[in-house]
Amino acid sequence: MENKVRFKLHKVKKHWITIAASSLAIGASLIGLGQVGADEVKPETTAVISPENVVSDSNLETSASLITRTEVAPTSTVVENTSSAAVSTDTTPTNVATQPTETTATQPSNEADKKVETAQSSETATTDRGAEPATDKQNTNENKSEITEVSEHPLSGQEISITRGKFTSDDQGNWYYTKDGKNLTGWNNVEDREYYFQEDGKQVKGQFVEVNGKNYYLDDHTGMLLVNCYLDKDGKHYQIDENGVVTERTKLPTNITGGHFEANDKGEWSYITEQGEKLTGFQYVDGVELYFDKDGKQLKGQEITVDGKTYYLDQNTGALLKNSYRNWSEKQIISRYKTNYIYHTSYFNRDGIRATGLVKTAAGFIHYFDENGELLKNVAVNVGGTTYVFGERGRLARKSFIWDKVDFTFPENVNFYYGDEKGHAVKGLQTIDGYQLYFDKDGRQAKDKIVQIDGKTYYFDKNNGRMVKNQWASVNVGGISPASKDYRSYYLGNDGAAVTGWQDIDGKHLYFTDTGIYASNGIYSINGKNYLFEKGQLVKDAYGVVDKPGAKVRLKYTYRTNADGEVLTGKQIIDGTEYIFASDGQVVDGVVRYDGKLYLVKDSKIEKNYFGAFFSKNEILGGINFTGIYGTDENGVLLEGVQRSLDGQLHYFQPEVKSVDKPTWKEIDGKRYRLTKWYLPEHHAGMYTTIILTNDTLKVDDKTYTIDNEGVATEFTAKNQFVRDDNWNWYYYDTDGKLLTGRQTIDGVQLYFDKNGKQVKGSLVDIDGDTYYFDKDSGVMWTNSSLTLNGMTYEIDDQGRVTSSLRNTFVQDKDGDWTYLKDKGQVATGWQTIDGIQLYFDGTGKQIKGERILIDGKYYYFDKNSGELLRNAFHSFSSYIHYFGNDGAQVFGWYTINGHRVYFKEDGLQAKDNVLLIDGNYYYFNQDGQLLVNGSAKSYNSLYLADSEGKLLSGWREIDGKTYYLDPSEKHYYYNRTASIDGKTYLFGSYAELLRNDTNYAYASDENGIVRTGFYRTDKGYLCYLEPRVISDYQPTWKEIDGKLYHFEKSTSLGKHLYGSPITTNATLEKDGKTYVIDENGVATEKVN
């Protein structure tokens, strides 16, 4: 029987209400609802472990400048066992199924927090639950807990919840709520809970209330309005929706009684019915809802997933957790000596389903739970186009600030939000606590930011976010490194708007741009003209330096202004000197093009009649760079082509002088020129320049040339004349044009030419067993004189024979060098075998020791102590190691050492860990210098495959079950990148292995290794877009693809080697004042009301 006691009718906030009193208790399905308004259960002593009782609202600061707290997890959830859990409920079901206590089989609780994926079998559904008209799990209208919009205080109608009052009681046990010295009356929302107080202030409890034809119920103990729960009263069963409206339940579960629990030898419990059958699936046993797996084993202390919904079973009783929070922690081992706990909170609704999305709990609190059921705290969430702000307990933040990150290591990464009286994120310009603040379109508070509002510029303080007035402000719009920072300064006026134009501030006449930027140091445009400013004032008729941000160093650029401060550009005459400035006014160095001509300028000054090395300023690293050797005419225009410069020599200008390391032929306009190093150093650079030979004859290889005054070379046949080569060695051609060799008399003078025709000068020569000396300048053979070489004095007779009184002996000079005198006292030169040892003596008779020298086109090395020729051995010269073969000559090219085929490069170094192109084929030599043959090898990021001759293979290859694309030329690198091959783009790994169905460096590939494009779902489940590189933005952004609109979130890790912006799915967002609904494929469609 439902007992309704009628009271006086009251009108509160346009609602007619009737209050009915009853003393009957609420049924077992109700929970205790946190803070209450009676002494029976005081808020500060409640046993409920939930976000509601962690921190009181009265402790929250509402001013952003006072927020310094970090998030602290509830102490009640700190446990040693990483899988332990705490459940938030302060009522215990009165009809818990009784399980026997036996000495042979006790029932331990299962390991907590272990998620078990379970599904009811069809047999269970038919046998155990089929007789019911409908079950709690089946009736979708009854187990709804998620909401798409918040119903705000439906009965009290208050916009702001009442806080910082207190509950008091009289000696009759009646309760009152006092605020500012007055007792509340009628409907009121206190601490986010709805209560009703009579006209005399007495709180109403345990009564049905009818308001405008709808029934509500006030809790027996707390007096709060019940929402989102079940109610059993007077033998009837009710359900209460998220707004507190009470309706009678018509579909109830079957309650099983008469059976018994029993345990197996593992301590696993089952329930045996009166018919002897084991229960499976969800079952009401003695009024308590339990769950049994397909084998009939009761599950406890774990989450289970059934038909896509997640439930939690008490670790002691196995009862399905309903209308309760669940708090648990995970232990995270950071280091050997440091452990961290990660705390989690979930909520299970009246049907035991873990809540997700926007949820109103039975206590009337509104939370947001993510897709994993995790309570979100200190976060702003967009739901249905409305942004809600949730505080540190996960409750709506009303008239208060929240911050979305409690790690203040990088303050710029912390976003502040402010919730209005409904907990909605405020946006735009707001006045809060008397201060003007600004929040962007997503609700983020502007701090240390410049904001445009109605065409004016404002700045909001970096600490408290308040609008700054009557003072200076600077904002870094560049990077975080010192080199990349780029500060913009503003002066904010009386109304907070940045001043513009010319202003008199602190006695100075300063300029600000149309957007309020202070002309501190830089180029600013006024009426279409560019002016140079320094500290807000014009730089007139002078040079000025502008400092700009760079990647690694600050960049400094110089400008020149006229008398009005306007930046000069193009060709200008200053004090009679011509200058050329860049189109943007920069002072420039080097070669510049102006009016179709190339000029050489130094600090923008035109260099006229110039020849020499030129050094330009390095704007990035500082200092100067050598740019080349140039020549200019009388107007400063660069010389080009074959031109005679100020040094009187012909040069080839391109426009810098063509430089060669060795004499080279160059054909220009069909004419042949000989380019060579000029023996006089270029005086500016301390280096040799390159000239074109003129007025000379020259031997090159086996041909002779005559070169005229313009440098043009013509081949001719030399006869009866001396001709030099590029190294200033002289040759003589006879009347038939043939080279002379050996001993010759020319114009009555005895000379000597070696076997190649080169005239001998300043050297001893062994001719037919006798030694002769030829003058170092003229090459004439000496006679009847004394000769001193290397500290040794020799006599020369009238036949030119050089002799000594010593015979068959070594002689050491004062410098420690050795000479050998043969059997007639002749000085030994060239190759000599003495006492069976092969030695070598130069043209002065000095023995070569410890030197590598060139002899007849080959290099040889002679021991530093004995002078013996080195054979079949390596020798180190500084950091270079060379090998000398069986004949003593240094080895170049292919060679075999100890049975291994090796190769020596042009510089004489052995090829090691190197790929070489030899005679059109590529070869790989390992770190020991051995040739790779019939196998594969890895080096750095490359893999090589060689055939039986050691030739490296190319193209697609299968090696050890992996596919590689080999290119030994390394003209293209295929490791850790994408590459186009035969018109298709492939993705490769660290050794050029083809990546199939994989990701690497922001790319993804298909089963053939071809780079994917378009939409892609990652291994973490993110939807992204490949172009083919994954789209990545530092801030959320909207993009249109193939005519459809998509929202991309801030970049994050999407999966293995994939960092980018995920596409938002299954959400509702605001854009340009419009609401868009986003489906599971990320397609955003405008919501039409």
- For 762-780, write each residue's pLDDT tens digit: 999 999 989 999 999 999 9
The domains spanning 5-65+142-248 and 570-690 adopt the same CATH topology: yes
pLDDT over threshold 90, residue 1077: yes
pLDDT band at 269 (very low <50, low <70, confident <90, very high): very high
pLDDT band at 48 (very low <50, low <70, confident <90, very high): very low
Domain boundaries, the chain: 5-65+142-248, 376-467, 470-562, 570-690, 740-847, 1013-1089
Percentage of the chain exceeding pLDDT 90: 58
At 156-181, the pLDDT tens digits run: 666 677 888 999 999 999 999 999 99
> Which of the listed ranges 69-73, 129-133, 397-401 does the model predict with the highest average pLDDT?
397-401
pLDDT over threshold 60, residue 686: no
- CATH architecture, range 5-65+142-248: Ribbon (2.10)
At 1025-1041, the pLDDT tens digits run: 999 999 988 778 899 99
The CATH number assigned to the domain with range 1013-1089 reads 2.10.270.10
- CATH architecture, range 570-690: Ribbon (2.10)
390 φ/ψ angles, rounded to the nearest 5 degrees = -115, 135
Cis peptide before 655 (omega within 30 of 0): yes
Higher pLDDT, 1 or 946: 946
pLDDT over threshold 70, residue 270: yes
d(CA 1074, CA 865): 93
At 1037-1055, the pLDDT tens digits run: 899 999 999 999 988 888 8
- CA neighbor of 796 nearest in space, from 777, 810, 782, 811: 782
858 φ/ψ angles, rounded to the nearest 5 degrees = -130, 150
The CATH number assigned to the domain with range 376-467 reads 2.10.270.10
Using the Cα atoms of residue 285, residue 291, residue 294 and residue 295 in order, give the sign of their dihedral: negative
Give the strand pairing for 116-117 and 302-306.
parallel
CATH class of the 740-847 domain in this structure: mainly beta
Structure tokens at 1074: 């419009």
* Multiple choice CATH, 470-562, 2.40.50.100, 1.10.3080.10, 2.10.270.10, 3.40.50.2000: 2.10.270.10
Strand boundaries in 754-898, DSSP class E: 763-767, 770-774, 785-789, 792-796, 802-803, 809-812, 818-821, 830-834, 837-841, 851-855, 858-862, 873-877, 880-884, 893-897
d(CA 278, CA 554): 79
Higher pLDDT, 408 or 132: 408
pLDDT of residue 1058: 87
Residues contacting residue 382 through CB under 8 Å, at least 6 positions apart: 388, 442, 1067, 1068, 1069, 1070
The CA distances from residue 200 to 176, 757, 894, 1025, in Å, are 9, 133, 112, 65
Return contacts of 541-545, CB within 8 angstroms, 24+ apart: 543/587
Amino acid identity of residue 429, one-letter, is L
At 1049-1072, the pLDDT tens digits run: 988 888 888 888 999 999 888 888
Question: Reduced to 3 states, what is the DSSP secondary structure of residue 385?
Answer: coil
pLDDT over threshold 50, residue 13: no
d(CA 180, CA 544): 67
Return the bridge partners of 429, or none. Answer: 438
